């Protein structure tokens, strides 16, 4: 029995040593795998970040979306690059687009529809609906002539209400009216604009009013 007990103890000792060695080997493998995985994940994170930066530059992500994802020290550098690129794109769009520089007279209802629907979708169109004997008409005409020279990429037009089939009630109560269109959609509708500006106003007054409404681009763009 004594020999059996010693053999049993030796067997248990070897079994314990084997388990300890196996545990050490497993820990070594886990550590190795963990380091490998972390390195791979880091690489994937870098690739994803580069992809997001490129998408941001290409305009596929909004600035708000990007800021929600990243708040790192290199954000400021990226934003500077992004602003510079966007400013350059806007300059190219502004100077490569059609230049109008005058107020166009619309002579029929059909011409009115063509002006709204057939102009390039990026063109901002402002149409003054008028009659000569309406208070404020002369002021608005003068203002549009001035603004057409200062905002050559904006198309300024005017049309008599009688040519587009407006009723006498509309002519007497809604004029002078200023309608603003872009891509065929009405985005600004100011009937009897004299209620906001008075009957005697200047180009700077109309300009400030339209900029307040977000309907004129900044001059420095």
pLDDT tens for each residue of 48-81? 766 666 665 555 455 555 555 555 555 677 777 7
**Listed range (2-6, 102-106, 132-136, 193-197) with the worst mean pLDDT:** 2-6
Reading the block at residue 27, the tokens are: 């820990």
Q: What pLDDT was estimated at residue 221?
A: 46
Burial class (CB in 10 A: 0-12, 13-18, 19+), 125: buried
**Listed range (2-11, 20-29, 75-84, 179-188) with the worst mean pLDDT:** 2-11
Look at the chain and report how many structural domains it folds into.
2
Of the candidates 204, 206, 201, which has an alpha carbon nearest to the alpha carbon of residue 190?
Answer: 206
User: What are the CB-based long-range contacts (under 8 Å, 24+) for 53-56?
Assistant: 53/78, 56/82
Domain end: 96, 126, 157, which one?
Answer: 96
Residue 39 lies in a domain: yes
Q: What pLDDT was estimated at residue 140?
A: 96
Do residues 108 and 206 share a domain?
yes
- The CATH number assigned to the domain holding 206 equals 3.40.30.10
The residue range of the domain holding 114 is: 103-213
> Pairing mode, if any, of strands 155-160 and 103-106?
parallel
């Amino acid at each position: 029995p004594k020999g059996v007990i010693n053999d049993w103890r030796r067997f248990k000792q070897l079994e314990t040593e084997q388990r300890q060695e196996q545990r050490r080997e497993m820990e070594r493998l886990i550590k190795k795998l963990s380091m490998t995985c972390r390195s791979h994940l880091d690489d994937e994170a870098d690739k994803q970040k580069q992809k997001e930066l490129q998408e941001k530059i290409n305009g596929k992500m909004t600035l708000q979306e990007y800021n929600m994802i990243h708040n790192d020290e290199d954000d400021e550098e990226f934003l500077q690059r992004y602003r510079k690129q966007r400013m350059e794109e806007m300059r190219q769009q502004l100077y490569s687009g059609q230049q109008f520089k005058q107020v166009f007279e619309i002579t029929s209802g059909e011409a009115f529809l063509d002006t709204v629907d057939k102009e390039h979708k990026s063109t901002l169109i402002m149409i003054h609906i008028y009659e000569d004997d309406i208070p404020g008409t002369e002021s608005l005409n003068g203002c549009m002539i001035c603004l057409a020279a200062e905002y050559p990429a904006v198309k300024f037009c005017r049309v008599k209400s009688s040519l587009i089939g407006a009723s006498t009630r509309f002519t007497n109560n809604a004029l002078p009216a200023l309608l603003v269109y872009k891509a065929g959609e009405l985005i600004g509708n100011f009937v009897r604009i004299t209620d906001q500006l008075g009957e005697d106003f200047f180009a700077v007054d109309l300009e400030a009013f339209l900029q307040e409404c977000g309907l004129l681009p900044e001059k420095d763009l």
